[in-house]
Amino acid sequence: MCDERFQMLTHQRNRLGHLDYVLLEHNQCTARGTLDEHGHSRKHGSSSPSTLQFAASAPWPVME
C-alpha cells in the first residue's frame, strides 16, 4: 500500500496553502482535497505505485 502526502510551492519556492486540488490517474479523478496552511495535501493511498497528474488553481505550482 502506498500512502503519501505532497507539498505545493510556487516557482519562487513559496508555500501555497488553502488551495483546492485534484489528482488524476489516466484522466480520471482519483482524489481531491484542500492544501493546509503549509501547502501540504492530506494523505492519499493506492494499492500500487502509479503516475498521477495534478490540477490546481495556482500560478506556476511545483510539487514536492
Report the pLDDT value the prediction gives residue 41, as an integer from 0 to 100: 87
- Kindly give, in sequence order, each residue whose CB lies less than 8 Å from that of residue 14, ignoring residues fewer than 6 positions away: none
pLDDT in tens, 8-33: 777 788 887 888 888 877 788 888 88
* Cβ neighbours around 51 below 10 Å, total: 7
Higher pLDDT, 27 or 61: 27
| Cell reading at 28 | 480520471
Whether this prediction's pTM lies above 0.85 is answered by: no
pLDDT in tens, 48-58: 666 767 666 65
